[in-house]
Amino acid sequence: MKKAFYLETFGCQMNVVDSEQIAALLTGLGYHQVGSAENADLVLLNTCSVRDKAERKVYGHLGRFKPIKDKRPDLIIGVGGCVAQQEGEKMLEKVSYLDLVFGTHNIHRLPELLQEVEQNRQRGCETTFHDRDTRLNLFPERTVQESVTRFVTVMQGCDNFCSYCIVPHVRGREISRSSSDIVAEVKSLVAQGVREVTLLGQNVNSYNLKNDEDVSFPQLLELINGIDGLQRLRFATSHPKDLTAELINCFGSLDKLCKHIHLPFQSGSDRILKLMNRGYTAADYLDKVARLKLVCPEIRLTTDIIVGFPGETETDFQATLDLVEQVRYADAFTFLYSPRIETAAAKMADDQSALQKQQRFDRLLDLQQQISAEIWETDSDQVLPVLVEGESRQGEGQVFGRTTWNRIVNFQGSTDLIGKTVAVKITKVFRNSHVGELAEAE
Ligand code: 5AD
Ligand code: SF4
């Protein structure tokens, strides 16, 4: 009988891609995926450690599997991803019923590790970082699911060492895939019915910066824009410091590139930006935003903001609010600063109270929610192109898709529309999505 695996994924889009690779490897070993740990022979968590809360969640989740393991000692439990990379062997010590730990560079080792557990009941841990060349060959196949949109990794790792961030420590140095591999992958996805790809990397602007022999990121976008059958192209995430004029111009010249950019600014205070080691000032950032809006007046921005960085004063925080008002983001992910082991900021003095931080966080959220609501409201009564992705969970006979600004639209329509771009009139604007009605098929 086929063995069953249950896989839960936390954190960013990179982990989503890694989980697709894990699923493909396990399928190759004769496993099939199930939706609950109760019936599984193997339970895997693909984890995130970007903030303390995400990390604690992993231990909470593991606790849920203990009673199942008590009943069925043959159940294999494993942890991969960023917490696994950071904690290594310590996780096996802390969690007595855990069988294996595999780091961010070791997904390809999963079959061997599993075999050791299955055959010898030998608990295993592998968190070795691989060098650039080995790592480049470690982009295993992914599961092939029918879907209109897919992520495609173009680079991994980060060399920026922002002072608060654990990513460079758990994902290692930057490496870029070859443009020919990426183009081939996108072409094969398009042949399978994919219509939109999001190019992924911790910092896509660093794509091939260390390799003069292959194309730059803007050139890669141009190559992908030219692939027949692909309708839309997105990318995430860009570091403002490396956002070049050439890349900004792509928003004016590439017809498939969606009019949306996620451009984290983290803080509006130059003093804090310096302590964060971000490599730009608020004025540099605003200058790039102005150029983006000039090249593509319809562009909408989203961002990430950290509140409560060590030593942040009311004046620093006010600069963040000012920047939010100036840029007018369509949406923002706001985070309370969370000290991370091994990072430079974790050693910085911090004299603010938790209450002070929370109050600032709430003020920022209020402001952003008001701006978001105003921006989304401008879509009301507009007829917008929507790429239809699938059946909607909102109700019988409804499908959903996204606008160029990545906003979900639910509307009454046939499943025949899936994979097509159609014109939809926006009739209602909710906090997280729009409702519309089909205007005409394109
Ligand atoms: N504390 C709070 N937020 C963080 N981020 C990264 N590290 C931390 C941290 N230590 C946020 C940043 C980043 C997003 C992915 O997570 O805003 O852009
Ligand atoms: Fe972390 Fe900064 Fe690298 Fe982004 S650019 S992954 S915030 S170190």
The per-residue pLDDT for range 276-333, each reduced to its tens digit, is 999 999 999 999 999 999 999 999 999 999 999 999 999 999 999 999 999 999 999 9
Report how far ligand 2's centroid is from the alpha carbon of 50 (Å).
Answer: 10
- Nearest ligand to the C-alpha atom of residue 163: 2
CA angle 244, 246, 247 (to 5 degrees): 70
Model pLDDT, residue 2: 83
Distance CA(255)–CA(258), nearest Å, equals 8
Output the pTM of the full model: 0.93
Model pLDDT, residue 395: 81
Q: What dihedral do alpha carbons 380, 385, 391, 397 form, nearest 10°?
A: 60
Print the domain residue range for 188: 129-258
The per-residue pLDDT for range 185-211, each reduced to its tens digit, is 999 999 999 999 999 999 999 999 888
Model pLDDT, residue 108: 85
Cβ of 265 below 6 Å from ligand 1 = no
- Nearest ligand to the C-alpha atom of residue 335: 1
Residue nearest ligand 2's atom 4 by CA: 202
Contact call for residues 18 and 81 (beta carbons, < 8 A): yes
Q: Which protein residues touch ligand 2 with a CB less than 6 Å away?
A: 158, 160-162, 165, 167-168, 202-203, 239
Residue 251's CATH number = 3.30.750.210
Q: How far is CA 95 from CA 37, 77, 84, in A?
A: 18, 10, 12
Residue 31's CATH number = 3.40.50.12160
Domain boundary among 207, 226, 258: 258
Report how far ligand 2's centroid is from the alpha carbon of 168 (Å).
Answer: 7
Model pLDDT, residue 253: 97
Residues 160 and 191 in one domain: yes
Distance CA(415)–CA(397), nearest Å, equals 8
Tell which one of 10, 12, 165 to mutate to probe ligand 1, the residue whose CB is within 8 A of the most ligand atoms: 165
Q: How many domains does the chain have?
A: 4
Q: What dihedral do alpha carbons 377, 380, 382, 386 form, nearest 10°?
A: 80
Residues 278 and 362 in one domain: yes
Report how far ligand 2's centroid is from the alpha carbon of 127 (Å).
Answer: 21
Residues 101 and 15 in one domain: yes
Cβ of 310 below 6 Å from ligand 1 = no
Residues 96 and 153 in one domain: no
Residue ranges, the chain, pLDDT below 50: 442
Residue nearest ligand 2's atom 1 by CA: 165
